[in-house]
Amino acid sequence: MAKVIYWMNTSIDGYLEGPDGGMDFMEPDDDFRQAANDHVRQFSAFLFGRRLYEAMEKPWTEDLGKDGAPAVEREFARLYKETPRYVFSDTLQTVPEGVTLVRRKDAVSVATRLKQEIDGTLQLGGAELAASLLDLIDEFWVYALPVIIGGGKPYLPVREALRLRLVEHRSFASGTMFRRYVRP
């Protein structure tokens, strides 16, 4: 049975996107990038909401990771392309090879099936998708970059308290903080 990890990068005040929907405040340093590569090596599949998928797919399959890019970016691009990707969307009509399109009405059943059938780790990304699959999430990962943006989309838009236990905490020279939580 797979473990489902919800991982998103945030500002230190807990936002994935600024008030205008932008993520331009996310300029991770190389220490974060290397840690991200180390984590991505562990993943059996990515489960993305549409907006996160669109933010990741073209840059990491077409734009980044080419000759001349830093080695850490080329490595992430290679790992990203090698990992099966599932995008949960009702608006997308087609996806490229290596990506599976899942309609939102099927999200819980597909994610449950993947969790039962896959040995390894499923990386879940996208705040609304995570909120809809909350009961399937085993771990919550946060990379908080050293910036305060004052508002926007929160890490996880839930309507009730969810108690967690901190099991790992690391800080990087760049000021980025990593925290890993599990359910008690």
pLDDT at 60: 82
Band of the pLDDT at 42, cuts 50, 70, 90? very high
Q: Which two tokens stand for residue 7?
A: 């991982």
Nearest-5° Cα angle at 37, 70 to 16: 95
List Cβ neighbours of 5 (8 Å cut-off, separation of 6 or more). Answer: 121, 122, 123, 124, 137, 138, 139, 140, 141
Integer Cα distance of 20 and 111 in angstroms = 30
Give the residues across from 153 on adjacent strands.
Answer: 17
Structure pTM? Answer: 0.92
Please tell me the predicted confidence (pLDDT) of residue 90: 96
Rounded to whole angstroms, the Cα distance separating 121 from 5 reads 7
- Indicate the range of 22-26, 60-64, 166-170, 171-175 predicted with least confidence: 60-64
| CA within 13 Å, CB half, 56 | 23
Mean pLDDT of 81-86: 95
Distance from chain centroid for Cα 18: 17
What is the predicted pLDDT for the residue at 114? 97
